[in-house]
């Protein structure tokens, strides 16, 4: 991870990746509104910035229109903005920064004009060799407009395109140089390209609506625009969508046994109504709750989830244990996952702005509270206290993931080890810190049961990553 951590030290929630979306309407219809609604469906993957870039495949080769800015999708785009974005092919992006500062310059999609025309790129993931690739380009005379690794990818594709017979070959050749995680959606003058890293860290799927083809991070974005799911892009696959249909290049694919999909897509990041690589996210979370009930039972009167990501696991715990499932929290729907945080000295609590406990639901009851993770522990202790103040007789916390012990280098904002509450502490010590009557995590050996048959990356729990982790970030600073 990189230099955005300092901005968010007061929050105890993991930050999402990014959301990517692309569409090519072979009938020539404008696509900007479809991208807009697709990005709205992917808003949970990033709330810092967003953007759309479109082009007309029948128009001049070097012309692309784009609009991007800081904030949520419905804040950045007005109907007038969308009306100006005329084109039948386009890409969109919603961002949480994992590399590079949070600024408008770093918002995506990136649009490059070069000798072969225009390239629009949206990237979800994190390169671990971005620093060396950037240095190589800089010594070759490249001038960078951003501080994000996505621009490094775009430059390498543009360089390869000059000597490659077509853009999909250029993409494949450029990807051979990359190490890390990426799902890419790329707009060229006449083609829409999708690519996924060989380990499959980040999801990417293909959909279709009438004669328009879509690429998206999650299937929920397909549902939002009335498109049908066709298939997932395989780890290591590059797909090119043209007037002639879909062409596939699997030369970068590796054996399935080496795949490393991010397990936290299933536990927390993805929307529960999405399916990733054939697995229902909702089913994964139900299963996590059931496994917690089997492995870590406790006598109680009510099972509740910390909204929203804890709800499905809480239902699973209830179904397995027979303890009634209920609602203990009211969530403020008008507060996003990022907002102006009060100073530490202020009485106002950022947690209470978002959540409030229902006294009528918990007063006098023994409550099992399910959450997806404990990162620093600061949020968990406030929520436990909130339930006690509302009259809960006992509060038992169950966590639908194992303890975080290691940072993530592949696009998830798991902070440095010294900031992780589980690092160097026993479960009993953590229980005392957060103030719960009991505490239990999902067992490490159970993770495979959340997404059976799929190769998973569990490095943030085990310290064992699918590839050698980096020693420095994109700025050249040591990890």
Asked whether residue 268 is domain-assigned, the answer is no
Asked whether residue 475 is domain-assigned, the answer is no
Same domain (yes/no): 333, 405: yes
Same domain (yes/no): 342, 236: no
Q: How many Å apart are CA 176 and CA 251, to the nearest integer?
A: 10
Same domain (yes/no): 202, 63: yes
Same domain (yes/no): 362, 451: yes
Q: How many Å apart are CA 49 and CA 94, to the nearest integer?
A: 6
Asked whether residue 269 is domain-assigned, the answer is no
Q: How many Å apart are CA 7 and CA 198, to the nearest integer?
A: 32
Asked whether residue 293 is domain-assigned, the answer is yes
Torsion, CA 321, CA 326, CA 328, CA 333, rounded to 10: 120
pLDDT digits (tens, 9 = 90+) for 287-327: 999 999 999 999 999 999 999 889 999 999 999 999 999 99
pLDDT digits (tens, 9 = 90+) for 180-207: 999 999 999 999 999 999 999 999 999 9
Residue pair 36/92 in contact by the 8 Å Cβ criterion: yes
Same domain (yes/no): 190, 46: yes
Same domain (yes/no): 211, 282: no
In 250-333, at which residue ranges do the beta strands (DSSP E only) sit?
Answer: 261-262, 275-276, 279-280, 302-305, 329-331
Same domain (yes/no): 237, 283: no
**Residue 311 belongs to domain with CATH number:** 3.40.50.2020
pLDDT digits (tens, 9 = 90+) for 19-71: 999 999 999 999 999 999 999 999 999 988 999 999 999 988 778 999 999 99
Q: How many Å apart are CA 349 and CA 172, to the nearest integer?
A: 48
**What are the residue numbers of the active site?**
18
pLDDT digits (tens, 9 = 90+) for 245-285: 999 999 999 999 999 999 999 999 999 999 999 999 999 99
The closest of 270, 116, 113 to 204, measured between CA atoms, is 270
Asked whether residue 253 is domain-assigned, the answer is yes
Same domain (yes/no): 234, 191: yes
Q: How far apart are the first and last CA of the chain?
A: 9
Determine the structural domain holding residue 404 and report its residue range: 275-462
In 11-64, at which residue ranges do the beta strands (DSSP E only) sit?
Answer: 18-25, 49-55
How many domains, in total, are found in the chain? 2
**Residue 117 belongs to domain with CATH number:** 3.60.20.10
pLDDT digits (tens, 9 = 90+) for 332-361: 877 654 444 444 444 445 677 788 999 999
Same domain (yes/no): 359, 222: no
Token duo for residue 374: 């404990």
Q: What SS3 class is residue 348?
A: coil
Phi, psi of 282 (to 5 degrees): -60, -45
Asked whether residue 93 is domain-assigned, the answer is yes
Asked whether residue 445 is domain-assigned, the answer is yes
Same domain (yes/no): 120, 64: yes
Same domain (yes/no): 246, 285: no
Same domain (yes/no): 247, 279: no
CA 79 to chain centre: 27
Q: What SS3 class is residue 5?
A: helix
In 87-227, at which residue ranges do the beta strands (DSSP E only) sit?
Answer: 89-95, 110-114, 117-127, 180-187, 192-196, 205-209, 212-216
Question: For residue 10, what pLDDT is reported?
Answer: 38
Token duo for residue 347: 């009485």
Asked whether residue 270 is domain-assigned, the answer is no
């Amino acid at each position: 991870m990189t230099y955005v951590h300092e901005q968010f030290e007061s929050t105890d929630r993991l930050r999402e990746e990014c959301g990517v979306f692309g569409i090519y309407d072979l009938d020539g219809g404008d696509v900007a509104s479809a991208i807009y609604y697709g990005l709205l469906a992917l808003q949970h993957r990033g709330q810092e910035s967003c953007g759309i870039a479109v082009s007309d495949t029948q128009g001049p080769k070097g012309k692309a229109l784009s609009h991007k800015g800081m904030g949520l999708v419905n804040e950045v785009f007005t109907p007038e903005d969308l009306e100006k974005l005329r084109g039948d092919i386009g890409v969109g992006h919603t961002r949480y920064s994992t590399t590079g500062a949070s600024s408008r310059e770093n918002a995506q999609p990136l649009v490059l004009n070069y000798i072969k025309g225009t390239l629009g790129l949206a990237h979800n993931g994190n390169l671990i060799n971005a620093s060396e690739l950037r240095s190589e380009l800089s010594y070759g005379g490249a001038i960078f407009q951003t501080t994000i690794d996505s621009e490094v990818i775009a430059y390498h594709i543009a360089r390869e395109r000059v000597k490659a017979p077509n853009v999909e070959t250029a993409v494949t050749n450029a990807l051979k140089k990359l190490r890390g995680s990426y799902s890419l959606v790329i707009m060229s003058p006449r083609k829409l390209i999708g690519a996924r890293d060989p380990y499959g860290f980040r999801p990417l799927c293909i959909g279709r609506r009438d004669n328009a083809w879509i690429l998206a991070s999650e299937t929920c974005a397909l549902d939002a625009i009335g498109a049908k799911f066709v298939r997932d892009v395989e780890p290591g696959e590059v797909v090119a969508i043209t007037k002639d249909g879909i062409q596939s290049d699997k030369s970068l694919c590796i054996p399935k046994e080496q795949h490393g999909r991010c397990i936290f897509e299933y536990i927390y990041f993805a929307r529960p109504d999405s399916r990733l690589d054939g697995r229902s996210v909702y089913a994964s979370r139900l299963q996590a709750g059931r496994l917690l009930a089997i492995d870590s039972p406790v006598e109680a009167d009510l099972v509740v989830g910390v909204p929203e990501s804890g709800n499905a696991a809480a239902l699973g715990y209830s179904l397995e244990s027979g303890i009634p499932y209920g609602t203990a929290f009211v969530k403020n729907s008008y507060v996003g996952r990022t907002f102006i945080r009060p100073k530490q000295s202020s009485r106002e609590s950022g947690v209470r702005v978002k959540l409030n406990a229902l006294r009528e639901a918990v007063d006098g009851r023994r409550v099992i509270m399910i959450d997806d993770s404990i990162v620093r522990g600061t949020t968990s202790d406030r929520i436990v206290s909130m339930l006690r103040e509302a009259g809960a007789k006992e509060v038992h916390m169950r966590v639908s993931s194992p303890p975080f012990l290691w940072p993530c280098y592949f696009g998830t904002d798991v902070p440095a080890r010294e900031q992780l509450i589980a690092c160097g502490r026993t479960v009993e010590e953590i229980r005392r810190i957060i103030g719960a009557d009991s505490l239990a995590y999902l067992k490490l050996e159970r993770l495979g049961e959340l997404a059976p048959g799929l190769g998973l990356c569990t490095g943030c729990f085990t310290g064992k990553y699918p590839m050698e982790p980096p020693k420095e970030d994109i700025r050249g600073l040591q990890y």
